[in-house]
Structure 1
């Protein structure tokens, strides 16, 4: 009996020691994951702050509607965004409240962030869910209007904005191209993705202060360049609680290493041609590509690339939608990022908070399927009564 008692005593000691260690290890792991996320955001913020104009008070000023918005290329088709589900309201135009604002995010002309905000004049909710919408390269916030109206009709506060050197922030039809080349030449700005991400951080600060918006229910989405803006803004700022980037998520480092950079580079060809000439090269090659990314968006092809930035969005709901044949966002570059993101979500989020879809037969274009899927995603996690999680 004594031997049996000793054996049981040893068993219970071992059991509690084992589970205690396991619980302790899990707690440590959770702390390490949190510290890793915080370290990522700290490093990213440090880079964003490294090329900033002086800070200014966060003030939103009223402005006027834009009558003739600037498109720096052919006007893209709006067929897909016009298919976005909306409430059947006969007099929707009259029911909508429209705000045209300029939000000051830093000193200088590019520090005036133009906003187009649509919402229903009457609502059953005192504080409503909000979604930020980002346009693609060479477009503007006015092009987003059908998308904004559809979400506003369904009770959201819908926010469109002009990215750096686009729309009201463009003084010519070559403003974005010129801004990119200037960044390559002097290294003083980061017009490709990062400067607009800074604006989105400031925008989140503004939106969480508004009395008509629920600060815990703010989503973000975008198309192409706008998808990249949405992805990186969510990675650095947890106030964006639900995320759905469209045809934007890619692997910059993978593309360089696997000679798949041409699709993305060709979308910004004048920039890379200028760099090629400056580097004395006969043609654009991987060395040119890497140097350009390091110059105009430091860390984009290394520490802030998708394998490292996607996992830190967890546990907030994230739905990535791409085209399966997209040369700008080749699927091979997403294998590792998606695996790491999936692991992060399995550790930190309830089932169903992370989703990826590559639409068959689709290249670099947004489709009605993507618009509908992302619309359902926001309804699932931002509508009243549905819960979201944040870290």
Structure 2
């Protein structure tokens, strides 16, 4: 890191790329020129973002199905699946309060990356049995909580799906070329599926496999974020089919890549009326020196910095309520980049005369969604959906 030895992770190539990066003048930045109005800018910026994401799969009927229903203390849990594209079925969990109301606000809860691929929505939804590794992960990332369950207790319907490459959509090792695990130093032969040892090996292998899969994603003509964001938007379509969801009170929330996905879901779709982005809001340029070493391949949108910085993208959310939670001791992002990003977004809301609808806060912790942060996030939703 910069404060350790003053060297860039990419050594002598940094100067070359920094000079090129500095020459980028994002032409669709909200402050790049005097736009006639906000709506004109949003139309153009969103169109360009969809173009760069470059994922336009063949459509399919939603065909939502309930696979299992469980009655819990004060709420109902439905295990569901629906189509997000032709031949693509996605599994999810819906938590529904049982307090006799006809209609509820709904939150799309988005799970993190965390280098934990074996599980998806299980990382934020309480399970009847949780492996020691899963419990350990929840303690580190979420203060030991299953935060989706905390939201349903507060009167929200919560929808959580498995993101592409996680949980029920994770890599099926039996279908991979026989030599690939060995090339990546993985050996599953003596391990029992689902054991902590197997899960560790699977997570390590999946992290390395990202490097291979992303090449195939790009050469197929699409992008990893394009796939993720498309599926997240179909979640709204699903919620719109439910009579118990108030369509004017749908929000989203997530940590880390969950925050990345929540940020873009709110930016790309006005049906999201309120959002919380946790542990994910730097500027792209601030990452160039040495903060990309631990980042996933899932975040890269080729060409985006020619048109918009990350706070420009996030400003597409305006004027809908947005709360950004930053982790002051987050090793993934430089502090100055996080500060600059929040200030830029604040300027957009101020310019629109909607400053009260944007909030950011820095927490003195590492990369996590602590209990304090969760309570602040829930209060933000309460303010705009129940106030």
> What TM-score comes out, normalization by structure 2 length?
0.70
**1:347 partnered with 2:351:** yes
Describe how 1:153-232 pairs up with structure 2 within 5 A: 153-170=153-170, 171-172=172-173, 173=202, 174-175=205-206, 177-185=208-216, 187=218, 188=220, 192-232=224-264
CA deviations 1:218-249 (Å, max 9, x no partner) are 11000111010000111111111111011122
Between the two proteins, the alignment pairs up a number of residues equal to: 298
Describe how 1:173-322 pairs up with structure 2 within 5 A: 173=202, 174-175=205-206, 177-185=208-216, 187=218, 188=220, 192-256=224-288, 259-261=289-291, 264-268=292-296, 296-322=300-326
Once residues 308 and 241 of structure 2 are traced to their aligned partners in structure 1, the CA distance between those partners, rounded to angstroms, is: 29
Name the counterpart of 1:123.
100
C-alpha distance 32-183 of structure 1, shift in aligned 2 (>3 A)? same
Cα RMSD of the aligned pairs, angstroms, is 2.5
C-alpha distance 374-186 of structure 1, shift in aligned 2 (>3 A)? closer
8 Å Cα contact 2:164/2:228 also seen in 1: yes
C-alpha distance 209-62 of structure 1, shift in aligned 2 (>3 A)? closer
Unmatched tracts of structure 2, length 5 or more = 1-33, 126-145, 174-201
C-alpha distance 224-96 of structure 1, shift in aligned 2 (>3 A)? same
- Of 347, 355, 360 in structure 2, the residue corresponding to residue 356 of structure 1 is 360
**1:140 partnered with 2:172:** no
C-alpha distance 191-118 of structure 1, shift in aligned 2 (>3 A)? farther
Once residues 164 and 211 of structure 2 are traced to their aligned partners in structure 1, the CA distance between those partners, rounded to angstroms, is: 10
Instruction: Tell me how far 1:52 sits from its aligned partner.
Output: 3.6
Structure with more relative contact order (C-alpha pairs < 8 Å, separation 6 or more): 2
Once residues 194 and 201 of structure 1 are traced to their aligned partners in structure 2, the CA distance between those partners, rounded to angstroms, is: 11
Name the counterpart of 2:41.
36
Once residues 234 and 204 of structure 1 are traced to their aligned partners in structure 2, the CA distance between those partners, rounded to angstroms, is: 11
Secondary structure of the equivalent of 1:265?
Answer: coil
- Of 363, 366, 370 in structure 1, the residue corresponding to residue 369 of structure 2 is 366
Secondary structure of the equivalent of 1:63?
Answer: strand
Once residues 194 and 57 of structure 1 are traced to their aligned partners in structure 2, the CA distance between those partners, rounded to angstroms, is: 20
Instruction: Tell me how far 1:166 sits from its aligned partner.
Output: 0.3
C-alpha distance 349-62 of structure 1, shift in aligned 2 (>3 A)? farther
8 Å Cα contact 2:62/2:84 also seen in 1: yes
Once residues 107 and 301 of structure 1 are traced to their aligned partners in structure 2, the CA distance between those partners, rounded to angstroms, is: 31
Instruction: Tell me how far 1:186 sits from its aligned partner.
Output: 5.2
Once residues 221 and 89 of structure 2 are traced to their aligned partners in structure 1, the CA distance between those partners, rounded to angstroms, is: 15
**1:380 partnered with 2:383:** yes
Q: Runs of 4+ in structure 1 displaced over 4 angstroms?
A: 174-177, 189-192
CA deviations 1:170-229 (Å, max 9, x no partner) are 135345653552222451266643311111111112212321111110110001110100
Name the counterpart of 1:63.
67
- Greater shift in the superposed pair: 165-174 or 208-217: 165-174
Once residues 202 and 218 of structure 1 are traced to their aligned partners in structure 2, the CA distance between those partners, rounded to angstroms, is: 13
> What TM-score comes out, normalization by structure 1 length?
0.70
Secondary structure of the equivalent of 2:356?
Answer: coil
8 Å Cα contact 2:281/2:341 also seen in 1: no
Once residues 176 and 201 of structure 1 are traced to their aligned partners in structure 2, the CA distance between those partners, rounded to angstroms, is: 26
